[in-house]
Structure 1
Amino acid sequence: MSNSIYLESFNSYNDHKDTFTLKVSVESFIIYCIYKYCSPKDTELYFTQVNDSSGRAHLNLLVREVKFIDQENVPWQVSSCVFPVALCDDTVITGLCAVARSICKHGHSIQGTFEHFNGLLGFCKGCLQAPNEVSVWTKFCEVDIIKTVLSLLGLSTISEIPVNLVRFENHLDKPVRIHNIYKVARNIKKQNLDVNLTNANVKPQIKPENSLRKPKNRKWKSNTTKDLEILCSTKLEELSISHQFAEGPFLTLADLLLLPCYYLFTQLLGETNLKELLPLSYKWYVNLINMQEMKIITDIFNIIVETRDLKSLKLPEVDDVSLYKSDPKRHNPKKRLFTKPEDIENALKSISDDLELKISVNNMKGGINWDIIPEGANPFAGHLPDDRVNRKAQQLENLALAVTAMAKDGDVVVDFCSGSGHLGKFDVGVALHACGIASDLVLDKCLKANAKFVLCPCCYGSLHATNRLSYPRSKKFNSIPIDQYLCIYHTADQTHKEHPLSERGDRCMAIIDSDRGRLAEEQGYTVTLARLKPLSCTPKNNLLIGVPADSKLNEVP
């Protein structure tokens, strides 16, 4: 089985053949470095020229031997994605961290001295596994640091150190947070103790033969075991573990991903400024580039970027928050959000009648003969409690009836958030209880594809802005202050069964879904907001249905 990595280039093969220079994006530069370091087995790397390069920052990478592939020969699955892309048999992987992880999994290079015993992906191979929408650390490595590079490349004068560089500096100054940290601390302490004993050059004593007899078992602890003892109540700050690397004492994929960016920062900001203003980051950077294993990457560092006009660089004021989601000191925009009754009432008063969609009556009739449905798609085959099985069947019937009312022969129906992904054209998008922002991501995909959609959103309280989403969603709702909007979606989760606050929670759900519906209407959709029936099948029972202007429903729910 052979795998392929596809990176974008802003010049052609003939241009490269004349100058040995590739004009590449920052993401392509990073993936190329990781590819050279890992040397993945049976994996080819191709550059392909992209036409839409206007206004995009690029780097001039000097490299002699590369493989180019014409656009018409690029697999359609790859062309459907945003670069970089990995094609592994019948699986298509896109996204900076996801492609980098795929390269690591197929890596064929000798494991480095400082790597975790599981390799660059660390404990349970989980390094940068969580998507940037839910992981502060992945977002920093995949989104924030790339944006910082691009913003600096677009400036001619720099007067302030970028905020994200200060965030990483603060991160390196914090206690290390890794799995089994006390076990790691004991192992490091044991290694240091072994080194000290070796350096003592103690000559072993030659024992007489009669002293080789088997000693009796005695109940006592060796001093060595006692010396290695580290209690789990010990504070993280008191452990002798420092940020030798980005995630702690082990070299991980995060280091390989950040290293090319910091090479560019030294070019743009000057190595002296980095050393003076960001000493921990500079120490981390120098430690990496001086490692023998990194020579294959540092040899690629031939990009010459002119140092910008630096006018008395200063450090910005940045909240000293953690880059780890598991850290209580992480950045949490909702940490001061309390749904006080008076705040909720004030937020609801700000919603005028013309903003909310009217909830339509669900007139869909019919059902599903579950006896003819295969076990893999049948909730009755899941060995669940009867009550739960019946409710799940009712939920699925509501969505199925809505889809059959709008779909026509030949339509491609995609059920989002229920398994593997889909590439290419589709006509109807469906999502049952896509958690939080996932419902908005599905909605955006449907709007971009001009596809019909049937959504039953969930987890309103976990909504948050990302690099791709902002709230409120629609222009019509932009008049709502963000703090009141946050209060409304937080209250929308208060829909517990037979609770006096459920009615208010239902209205808040309808307001958030009205915002989503108004966004679709602004793009020419006809939108219906209904509710599942019976209402008892789930507390999150809103049904948002959208049809593009050039389509018609067979039956209006």
Structure 2
Amino acid sequence: MIELTLLILVLEEALTSGPINHSPTPFSVNQSNKGVEVKRDSEVPQIVTEKISNQQCWISEEFEVLQECTACTGFEINSQSLAACVETGLKEKLNCKKSGIAFRSCVSIKGVEERNFLLFMFSMLLVFVLSVGAVKVTTVVLRKMASTQVMKSQKSVSGRMAKETYELENRRYYDSIKKLPHLYVEVRKLAEPYVYLDLRNLIVLLIYEAFHLERWVELWIVSKAHAGTGDTTTTTTLDDVVNHRKFLRLKSSVVFNESTKSYNINSDKVNDIIRDSFEGIEVSTRKHPSITIADKRMVICGVSSVLRFMLKFAGTRIESRKDNVEDIDLLRKFKQYLGFRGGCLQACAESSIWTKFCEVDMLNVINGIDQSCQTLKCKLDLNDTELVSVPIPETIIQFENHLSLPVKVHNFRKVIQNSKKADTGSLSLESCKDQNKIELITDLKHEFAEGTIMLLSDLILFPSVDICVSCVGREVFRGIAPKTLEWYDKVNFVFQSLLSFDIDCYYSSILHTNQTKFEWVVPEVPMQSLYSRDPNRYKPTLRQFTRQYEIDEVLEFVKHQCIEPLEINEEEPCFEWTDIPLLAHPEGGNLPKTRQQRKCHQLASLVYYALQVYGETRMDCKSRRFRIVDFCSGGGHLGILVAYLLPECDVILVENKDESLRRAQERIEGLGLSNMYCYQSNLDYFDGDFDLGLALHACGTATDLAIEKCVAASASFVCCPCCYGAVQENHMLKYPRSSIFLKSQIPLRYYFILSHASDHTHDAAHEKTEQGKQCMTLIDTDRCLYAKENYYNVKLCKIVPDTASPKNHILVGVKKQNEKL
């Protein structure tokens, strides 16, 4: 197109480069009394006359142009006094050699053709520019579209490859487990066919029995004496257990089935069994349910973590055989229950609203019913005839509100499309574009807790709701929480199709016996879903903590309260990497090269201070090997390095993500480290004795939880905090941490402004970096003061050099010897 335009311009220039001919159109003029009649030469007879008037002298005579073609005056045109002006309104003045002055008609004014030509040239140039621009824009758009398409294809391919790789690694990992894992469930009494236990253990045992998981996981029953009896399992009476209101009765067959390997052991002996399985180390599992994997020297603790492992492990074993049609159907269910990428309820309860609701709030529903029953019992004891108001547990109303609001899922378009296909036959994703997003999303109702399919969260929530339905009564419950009852019936149908079960609660008989003496009251609960970004809960304007004028206000407040930040010890760590094997080096952990150098500096600094603390405290541990715990260990970079350097110590990695621990175990096996063990759980489930706690870049509240665990165990700590802006109150922690900050009466919002401003530690040239460091020091000062109040010698250090990480503070705390428990 460009070449064609240029060719036209060149030809046009060549054809019009000669002199412009202003020759007029020949005319024949005949004058008579009737006027002037003008004819073209083609109409004039071809007769040669001897005498031609001067008005046509240019035909036969030589002439000279005296005046170029110009416009005739209005008078000349209207009066027709000049014949040359009649036809075109233009005239050209000539001087014939013999006839003299004459006028003839002409068809163009001088310069018009030049102007027209220039206009043509300009038009062609404009077309050329527009063509070039259109080609450029089209090229950019097409390249962008092609690039986007390629990226989507690559992402799709890489996603499939990542999924296949993940599944392959999962299969390889679970296939490498030769001994059957042990599931520990704690009960209070065995009275065939009934088992008395708390709600958490009941949930795991119910799902274990419903899906016949005894084929893949060995059940161990941990019996515990009733609190206050001082007895063990053999002497606790049934009445003692029943009178302990918060325990439930479950009719179970698997516990008493002789063909199933079940063991009834006292909880005091659990650690002895685990120590034998793990070749000497005592990994505390005081919090049940839990799973131990002897092949991997690993403990899994927490309801969600335990259930995820059992479903994944059983699914992998089924997939490797695929010889039973019923098992294949079970495999499909397991994959569905585990959810997207097998990560249902994987987020920590301290940071996830939904996980906290399922694992903490809903499982404490017994406490709510207990409080209601205690209120009723007091009224009955006083013979009060007034009708007693008994509140429904708030968690039930929260769940009802959640089910009443629209579903919010990451792949809402796909879910909507699949849900609409049954009605419309087909549905294009074009109908799910953003402009219709709000309209369509309201059509997507909750069928189950997290959307339209049943997940692990539904299985975990079901027993709590079942207890409430039993206590309240079905018809009354329908009037209070109809959506919840509808959900309950769907999940109950699934459970009843798998297992005939009966959960009996101590309170149900009391409430049904005295149902005429009280009335259920619905507490006021905000109309919010349990999604973290629900606009009814998440108010962006209230969560902005980084306005500069507010930061200045908070810093001024701290200054007036005379809160002095701790001085930072900038000691230069001394550490050599030359003798460290590859698998203990960050390079062996598959870190990108851009991160390896920074990670080396971070590890060198923490290991330097950890070795210092170990040297100061190792003599305090005489009854057993010195034990170090790496909290939030991730891939185990810090713990593996410490275990390699201190083979005389036992090192435990505590991490919530099973994938991270798998990577760590590969390196542990490659190094042949026999002093390392893994503990997969949230921090709140870890409950064991240790001497030194480590944490490298534990995000947000995880640092405070790690320090809290160290304080509870009278252990020293070396922690490097991270993600200060993620600090938030939860069911385990309150802020500020220290009494000095509390006495200053610093508002909670001020504290969160400090924590969010602490994340403004950019490069040295940034204007807010110094301010961010100041706020970061204040938050860490609060943490150190809290430890100091719990009888620790503390100091605030830093990672060297500063370029290793913007979050470079290291909190070092050594428990005072005379204050150890």
TM class by smaller structure: 0.7 to 0.9
Match of 2:785 in 1: 518
Contact 1:38 1:104 in 2 (8 A): no
Contact 1:323 1:331 in 2 (8 A): no
Q: CA deviation at 1:298?
A: 5.1
1:43 pairs with 2:244: no
Aligned partner of 1:492 among 758, 762, 765: 758
Contact 1:173 1:243 in 2 (8 A): yes
Match of 2:350 in 1: 133
The CA distance in 2 between the partners of 1:500 and 1:514, in whole Å, is 23
> Cα deviations across residues 383-407 of structure 1 (Å, max 9, x unaligned)?
7556x54443332222222122221
Contact 1:115 1:250 in 2 (8 A): no
The CA distance in 2 between the partners of 1:339 and 1:226, in whole Å, is 44
The CA distance in 1 between the partners of 2:707 and 2:345, in whole Å, is 26
* Worse-matched range after superposition: 141-150 or 418-427: 418-427
1:443 pairs with 2:680: no
Q: CA deviation at 1:462?
A: 0.7
Contact 1:38 1:103 in 2 (8 A): no
Q: 1:95 to 1:184 in 2, by over 3 A?
A: same
Aligned partner of 1:177 among 399, 405, 408: 408
Contact 1:112 1:293 in 2 (8 A): no
Match of 2:496 in 1: 294
Contact 1:115 1:252 in 2 (8 A): no
1:29 pairs with 2:260: no
The CA distance in 2 between the partners of 1:355 and 1:486, in whole Å, is 16
Contact 1:530 1:542 in 2 (8 A): yes
Give SS of 2:741's match: coil
The CA distance in 2 between the partners of 1:286 and 1:366, in whole Å, is 62
> Cα deviations across residues 176-222 of structure 1 (Å, max 9, x unaligned)?
234533334333444456xxxxxxxxxxxxxxxxxxxxxxxxxxxxx
Give SS of 1:119's match: helix
Bigger relative contact order, structure 1 or 2 (CA pairs below 8 A, ≥6 apart)? 1
Q: TM-score, normalization: structure 2?
A: 0.57
The CA distance in 1 between the partners of 2:783 and 2:265, in whole Å, is 41
Match of 1:231 in 2: 432
The CA distance in 2 between the partners of 1:229 and 1:495, in whole Å, is 43
Match of 1:199 in 2: none
* Worse-matched range after superposition: 354-363 or 325-334: 325-334
Q: 1:44 to 1:531 in 2, by over 3 A?
A: closer
Aligned partner of 1:263 among 462, 466, 472: 466
Instruction: Identify unmatched segments of 5+ residues in structure 1.
Output: 194-223, 553-557
Within 5 Å, give how 1:107-506 maps onto structure 2: 118-156=335-373, 157=376, 159-192=390-423, 225=426, 230-233=431-434, 234-235=436-437, 238=440, 241-289=444-492, 291=493, 293-297=495-499, 299-303=501-505, 305-306=508-509, 308=511, 311-325=518-532, 327=534, 329=536, 331=538, 335-351=542-558, 355-363=563-571, 365-379=572-586, 384=592, 388-408=595-615, 411-418=626-633, 419=636, 420-421=653-654, 422=678, 424-478=688-742, 479-497=745-763, 498-506=765-773
> Cα deviations across residues 84-140 of structure 1 (Å, max 9, x unaligned)?
112234331111111122232226775779976833112322222222223221111
Q: Higher helix proportion, which one? A: 2
Q: 1:165 to 1:293 in 2, by over 3 A?
A: closer
Q: 1:372 to 1:24 in 2, by over 3 A?
A: same
Contact 1:535 1:541 in 2 (8 A): yes
2:739 is matched by which residue type in structure 1? K
Q: CA deviation at 1:261?
A: 0.7
Contact 2:420 2:426 in 1 (8 A): no
Match of 2:794 in 1: 527
> Cα deviations across residues 213-240 of structure 1 (Å, max 9, x unaligned)?
xxxxxxxxxxx65789843444365365
Larger radius of gyration: 2
The CA distance in 1 between the partners of 2:194 and 2:428, in whole Å, is 57
2:723 is matched by which residue type in structure 1? C
Q: TM-score, normalization: structure 1?
A: 0.82
Give SS of 2:265's match: coil
Contact 1:452 1:547 in 2 (8 A): yes
Match of 2:184 in 1: 6
Q: CA deviation at 1:524?
A: 0.8
2:418 is matched by which residue type in structure 1? N
Within 5 Å, give how 1:54-73 maps onto structure 2: 57-63=246-252, 65-66=255-256, 67=262, 68-73=264-269
Contact 2:447 2:487 in 1 (8 A): yes
Q: 1:372 to 1:281 in 2, by over 3 A?
A: same
Identity of paired residues, percent? 32
The CA distance in 1 between the partners of 2:600 and 2:807, in whole Å, is 15
> Cα deviations across residues 352-382 of structure 1 (Å, max 9, x unaligned)?
666445214333x452222222223324666
The CA distance in 1 between the partners of 2:715 and 2:428, in whole Å, is 66
1:544 is matched by which residue type in structure 2? L
2:608 is matched by which residue type in structure 1? L
Q: CA deviation at 1:159?
A: 3.0
The CA distance in 2 between the partners of 1:259 and 1:401, in whole Å, is 49
Contact 1:115 1:251 in 2 (8 A): no
The CA distance in 2 between the partners of 1:546 and 1:534, in whole Å, is 22
2:711 is matched by which residue type in structure 1? L
1:447 is matched by which residue type in structure 2? V
Contact 2:432 2:440 in 1 (8 A): no
> Cα deviations across residues 498-524 of structure 1 (Å, max 9, x unaligned)?
223222221211111111112211211
The CA distance in 2 between the partners of 1:126 and 1:379, in whole Å, is 27
> Cα deviations across residues 456-515 of structure 1 (Å, max 9, x unaligned)?
211101111222222112233223221211111111112222223222221211111111
Q: 1:137 to 1:333 in 2, by over 3 A?
A: farther
The CA distance in 2 between the partners of 1:139 and 1:385, in whole Å, is 37
1:25 is matched by which residue type in structure 2? D
Contact 2:183 2:289 in 1 (8 A): yes
* Worse-matched range after superposition: 473-482 or 523-532: 473-482
Contact 1:190 1:228 in 2 (8 A): no
Give SS of 2:476's match: helix
Give SS of 2:730's match: coil
The number of aligned residues is 514
Q: 1:354 to 1:402 in 2, by over 3 A?
A: farther
The CA distance in 2 between the partners of 1:117 and 1:50, in whole Å, is 32
2:437 is matched by which residue type in structure 1? K
Give SS of 1:249's match: coil
1:527 is matched by which residue type in structure 2? V
